Amino acid sequence: MQTRIAVLGAAGRMGRATIAALAGQDDCRLVAAIVRRVDDGRLALDAAAGIFGTRAGVVAEQLPDAVEADVLIDFSGAGGFDEALRTCRERGIALVSGSTGLSEGQLAAARAASAAIPVLWSSNFSLGVALLRRLVATAAAALGPEFEAEIMEIHHRDKVDAPSGTALSLGRDIAQARGQDFDAVARFARQGSAGPRPAGEIGFAVARAADVVGEHTVLFAAAGERLELTHRATHRDLFARGAVQAARWLAGRSPGWYALADVLEPVAPTPP
Ligand SMILES: NC(=O)c1ccc[n+]([C@@H]2O[C@H](COP(=O)([O-])OP(=O)(O)OC[C@H]3O[C@@H](n4cnc5c(N)ncnc54)[C@H](OP(=O)(O)O)[C@@H]3O)[C@@H](O)[C@H]2O)c1
């Protein structure tokens, strides 16, 4: 049976990449491309390529009542996320979301919704990054806070949020592995008389330039040695393919809060 997928933020870069990724899948079907404005000029390119014309049930500003979907893939960003969550709750649809820059309140709402619907939110749909997070947590637990942790990321000039959602996730992974309170040890900027580095701090450095898809390095440093774990994304299609893989995996599952790592290695959902 085909998994019926709606895409929110379909006119955006990731939305269009997701629709392109769906085009090659026999076991998935795009039932709706949800956009902010149906007359969005960016859709013309995709229509010309036949993507919307041949694959989408509808192009609409909201998921029509008549359209049934198993999973909504959301790449609308923080501004569209609430609508994605509301649509999924009201319609009983599983949510796969890659929107970043979400507030604590938005994440809390998503966790609460996961009592009623399956939710898989990930700030990075790269399977390589899912593995990086596992490696970083292992390294942080093994090395302890004596190894000073710094997270460096670079993305394209149009990225809205900083640090990246992935960098924040990596920082939280380190804090959790060391038994630290992330908010108490995260250091987002150093300027002027920043002073000596406090023990246990987790530092972030952000760069924005040109068309860089996304790179993350986690540095663990102690006197006389450094360990660096790096992931480089060279094409955004990989995130779209990961989101489609996640949607296929999530369809029909029990309500719960899932992570991309669960797609690699199925486990019971973590409590909301
Ligand atoms: N998790 C991952 O692996 C991953 C990878 C890459 C990017 N991202 C994240 O995915 C999000 C989108 O990135 P992008 O580069 O594709 O951005 P983008 O090109 O700006 O696309 C976002 C699209 O969503 C639309 N939108 C916003 N609110 C909407 C709403 N309420 N209803 C319908 N459409 C709405 C926007 O329309 P307007 O232009 O009219 O506002 C735009 O077309 C960002 O949060 C980004 O950080 C995640």
pLDDT tens profile 169-222? 999 999 999 999 999 999 999 999 999 999 999 999 999 999 999 999 999 999
- With a 6 A CB cut-off, is 258 part of the ligand 1 pocket? no
Share of the chain above pLDDT 90, in %: 79
Q: pTM for the full model?
A: 0.84
Q: Dump pLDDT digits (tens) for 141-161.
A: 999 999 999 999 999 999 999
- DSSP secondary structure letters along the chain: -PEEEEEETTTSHHHHHHHHHHHT-SSEEEEEEE-S-TT-TTHHHHHHTTHHHHH-SEEESS--TT---SEEEE-S-HHHHHHHHHHHHHHT-EEEE---S--HHHHHHHHHHTTTSEEEE-S---HHHHHHHHHHHHHHHHH-TTSEEEEEEEE-TT--SSS-HHHHHHHHHHHHHHT--HHHHEE----SS--SPPTT-EEEEEEE-TT--EEEEEEEEETTEEEEEEEEE--THHHHHHHHHHHHHHTTPPSEEE-HHHHHS--PPBP-
Range with the poorest average pLDDT among 50-54, 86-90, 199-203, 243-247: 50-54
The closest residue, in CA terms, to atom 32 on ligand 1 is 36
Choice from 100, 164, 235 to test ligand 1 binding pocket (greatest atom count within 8 A of CB): 100
156 catalytically annotated: no
Choice from 76, 87, 88, 132 to test ligand 1 binding pocket (greatest atom count within 8 A of CB): 76
Share of the chain above pLDDT 70, in %: 92
Q: Among residues 156, 159, 231, 235, which one is catalytic? A: 159
CA of 16 to the centre of ligand 1 (A): 10
159 catalytically annotated: yes
Q: Give the pLDDT confidence score for residue 266 in this predicted structure.
A: 53
CA of 12 to the centre of ligand 1 (A): 5
Q: Dump pLDDT digits (tens) for 42-83.
A: 776 666 566 665 556 788 899 999 999 999 999 999 999 999
Q: Give the pLDDT confidence score for residue 78 in this predicted structure.
A: 97
- Evaluate if residue 40 carries a pLDDT over 90: no
